[in-house]
A and B are shown apart, each in its own frame.
Chain A
Amino acid sequence: DSGVTQTPKHLITATGQRVTLRCSPRSGDLSVYWYQQSLDQGLQFLIQYYNGEERAKGNILERFSAQQFPDLHSELNLSSLELGDSALYFCASSPPTNEKLFFGSGTQLSVL
């Protein structure tokens, strides 16, 4: 158990819908990262927050947004969903010393 909690574990929805994925980082970690993993593309960095502020942005679509709240939990919002958004979405956190990432167990999103 990495200490990073992600909910829900599985999500099935339809095209055009909107979903919210939730992540609670390890106690004491200030950074939260979101990654998308598709079968053929590996782990793709989406966005990073540090203590509530956006710090880095990767290949995140405009239909996707995220935020980190004062209690440091984070939410990833995916809207106008398309079939191609079906993937495993991972959240990770890292300590203030900024070394390794600890990953949550992921949310498997299926868009039908």
Chain B
Amino acid sequence: GQNIDQPTEMTATEGAIVQINCTYQTSGFNGLFWYQQHAGEAPTFLSYNVLDGLEEKGRFSSFLSRSKGYSYLLLKELQMKDSASYLCAVRALPNTGTASKLTFGTGTRLQVTL
């Protein structure tokens, strides 16, 4: 099975930097995803890591350490619109065929304040 942990809530100030951590335990790791979800809306893809290291995409960066079962999402120059839930998801190697599922953590609710 898989176990994913991330903080329930975080608060940060507009313009600041925030780091959202995610730790996971899984057999057959095949990639880690970060999604953003505004309340009542669909999750939207932010980043994908399958190898160790940092992936940067604009104001958002994601880091992965497979040996430590650890990832973080870094959000820079925070804006009010960044207030949302951030979901860490792990993909496991498929047992059969070519498709595999994503298992999501419960998400970190980020509140950006003035």
Contacts and interface: CB of A to CB of B under 8 A. Distances in A.
Which size class do B's interface residues fall under? 20 to 34
A1 B91 CA distance: 24
Which size class do A's interface residues fall under? 20 to 34
Interface string A1-36: 010000000000000000000000000001101010
B103 A2 contact: no
Contacts of A58: 101
Contact of A43 (B41, B95, B98, B104): B104
Contacts of A90: 42-43
Contacts of B42: 2, 90, 103-106
B33 A55 contact: no
B20 interface: no
A64 interface: no
Contacts of A103: 42-44
A99 interface: yes
A96 B104 CA distance: 21
Contact of B101 (A41, A48, A108): A48
B80 interface: no
A45 B94 contact: no
Interface in B46-87: 48, 87
Interface of B: 31, 33, 40-45, 48, 87, 89, 94-107
Interface of A: 2, 30-31, 33, 35, 41-45, 48, 50, 53, 55-56, 58, 88, 90, 94, 96, 98-106, 108
Give the 9 A-B residue pairs with the shortest CB-CB distance, closest first: A42-B106, A103-B42, A43-B104, A50-B99, A100-B45, A56-B101, A55-B99, A31-B99, A103-B43
